[in-house]
Amino acid sequence: MITPMRYLLLVLGVLIGLHYILSFTNETYGRTTSIENIKNQFKSNHPPYKDPIPDEYYINSNSTRKANAVIVLLARNGDLDGVLSSLKQMEDRFNRKFHYPYVFLNDEPFSDKFKSLVSEVTDAQVQFGLIPPDHWHQPSWIDEAKASAAREKMIENKVIYGGSVPYRNMCRFNSGFFYRHELLKPFKYYWRPHVKFFCDLDYDPFLYMQDNQKVYGFTISLFEYIETIPTLWDAVKDFMADNPNLIAKDNAIDFLSDDGGNTYNKCHFWSNFEIADLELWRGEAYSKFFDFLDKRGGFYYERWGDAPVHSIGASLFARKDQIHFFNEIGYRHEPFQHCPQGEVHKKGKCWCDMEQNFDYEWYSCLKKYDGLFK
């Protein structure tokens, strides 16, 4: 039988124990909910995409929230057929439910036919912008003899787009100028959707990024063609040495390098699909980084692509947990595709073959991304 004294001592013991636990969690984790902090201590340390997107981001009759976001397509008049195909898939799979605006950019004025046919595909707002010449054309300070010799060598070595100046203009524009365009200045997030979509997307990836402080999202990562960027990592190392204060703490450099930054393992996110925070590129760190690279001339003396430049920038100037793999978005850009697996495949009503999936093929870098969270 428990006496009144023993009962009192037992109650005091329980209260003291609870006080100790709550004091400890508050000291360690601040003023957030103690129970949540205890849960987080024991949460498995796996990549964020292994946790399903919360139901609150899926569309329903009460969905009214929207992010300050835009869908961006860089195109020419001659790309009309491909643009209409991508746009129709984007509308059918996602945007007819969310109505985010579009911005189309071109280094030449869009034709009336282009604008008319594109505008017929969507009920969302569509704007057409002209790229300023100084944001597009090869700068006057580039040594054309040196650049021409580099192009000839790449042609001899059968490097894809090795002889193309317009392709280099596009890579430089996407690396350092598109986010400065007047039509994009009002927006915080953007999505580049030059892709084939396999699945219905019934949740809002913009809101998910906004609420979870994500700044860069991807669906395919792979090794870059090293012949296009032979000196890029040398430039990156020089920048890091000169600007250590700009490198983010707990960054994703281990996605890029297997030896702490000494060498580049060639991993990058494919930027023909990217959802990102425009402030990442507009910030001091990336702005200085792009200017530094631009002065090296590698966009023209070699063939630096916006995909490795963006990937390196995101990996160095953001925390690793701010980079997100959108596992639920089925996507193809020739010749690779991401096909969601298992329950995610069923939930998205995907029509791709799950066996045709690039995620862990030998040429994929997703395993490097996964490794950031071990």
According to DSSP, the residues that pair with 103 across neighbouring strands are 72, 127
- Three-class SS of residue 304? coil
Per-position b or e across 279-295, b if 16+ CB within 10 A of its CB: ebbebebbbebbeebbe
What was the pLDDT predicted at 251?
98
Name which of 318, 339, 70, 321 is nearest 219 in CA terms: 339
Residue 206 CA to residue 239 CA, distance in Å, equals 31
Positions marked active-site: 274
What was the pLDDT predicted at 21?
34
Q: Which residues in the chain come in under a pLDDT of 70?
A: 1-44, 61-63
Please state which of the four CATH numbers 3.90.550.10, 3.40.50.620, 3.30.565.10, 3.30.70.3450 is assigned to the domain occupying 69-372.
3.90.550.10
What was the pLDDT predicted at 12?
40
Which residue do the tokens 């600007």 mark?
Answer: 243
What was the pLDDT predicted at 62?
63
Asked if residue 257 lies in contact with residue 265, where contact means CB atoms within 8 angstroms, the answer is yes
What pTM does this model have?
Answer: 0.86
Quote the tokens at residue 255.
């996605």
Name which of 219, 227, 221, 106 is nearest 161 in CA terms: 227
Instruction: Give per-residue pLDDT as tens, 267-277.
Output: 999 998 999 99
